[in-house]
Amino acid sequence: MRKIFVCCVLLVGVVMLSGFMGIGESEMDLETKSIKLAKEVQRGDYNVISTEELKDALGKGDLLVVDTMPYEASYKKNHIPAAKQFLFPIPDMTSWDANETAGKTQADFEALLGADKDRMLVFYCGFVKCTRSHNGAMWARKLGYTNVYRHPGGIKAWKEAGYPVDEIK
């Protein structure tokens, strides 16, 4: 029930923000995107976290942030500080496919996430429309992790908020 409430709040928030900010996107387009995100969250059985909430969580404690974008094309250029990289595909990955995860196995993913199934895990990708983070969060839940979040705004929202990024030179 909480997840449905969160999805509804998320949907209303996106609709209200677009109206207040004067974004030129039609209501039908916004509705389509919002419902798509809400359905992904329901299907994946994880939570969502805003950019500001993620920034606060990073300052408070033990969590793992996972960037699900390609290493060379994205993560290396800019990522949320302390984030680890693990590639996931854009289409739903319903069974593990190492060809879609840069050759990494399910065991590699579990090793990254660690043994603590209650540790806060946050997955992000490029922006709301990108679904790599959905796959990462969905797989974490499939593997029994309980405190799983998706940061739908991704690195784009993080940078738009003016928060720092790291890069690998």
CATH number at residue 105: 3.40.250.10
Confidence of residue 18 (pLDDT cuts 50, 70, 90): very low
Residue 166 resides in a domain? no
**Per-residue pLDDT tens over the stretch 108-137:** 999 999 999 999 999 999 999 999 999 999
Q: Are residues 21 and 75 in the same domain?
A: no
**Do 72 and 136 sit in the same domain of this protein?**
yes
Q: Let me know whether 136 and 71 are in one domain.
A: yes
Residues 22 and 61 in one domain: no
pTM assigned to the model: 0.86
* Whether the predicted pLDDT of 145 surpasses 80: yes
Q: What is the pLDDT of residues 80-99, one digit of tens each?
A: 999 999 999 999 999 999 99
Q: What pLDDT does residue 160 have? A: 97
| Segment of 20-24, 30-34, 128-132, 145-149 carrying the highest mean pLDDT | 145-149
Neighbours of 1 (CB within 10 A): 5
Burial 147-169 (b: 16+ CB within 10 A, else e): ebbbbbbbbbbbeeeebeeeeee
Smallest Cα–Cα separation from 93: which of 146, 38, 35, 40?
40
Burial 68-87 (b: 16+ CB within 10 A, else e): bbeeeebbeebbbeebebbb
The answer to whether residues 109 and 141 belong to one domain is yes
Residues 19 and 96 in one domain: no
3-state secondary structure 10-61: HHHHHHHHHHHHCCCCCHHHHHHHHHHHHHHHHHHCCEECCHHHHHHHHHHC
More confident residue, 20 or 167: 167
Quickly state the pLDDT bin for 24 (edges 50, 70, 90): confident
pLDDT confidence of 61, banded at 50, 70, 90?
A: confident
Q: Are residues 53 and 102 in the same domain?
A: yes
Q: Looking at the structure, tell me whether residues 88 and 147 fall in a common domain.
A: yes
If asked whether residues 132 and 93 sit together in one domain, one would say yes
Using the predicted structure, report yes or no on whether residue 8 has a pLDDT greater than 90.
no
User: What are residue 100's phi and psi, to 5 degrees?
Assistant: -95, -10
Domain that holds residue 30: 1-42
Residue 167 lies in a domain: no
pLDDT at residue number 133: 98
Residues 56 and 88 grouped into a single domain: yes
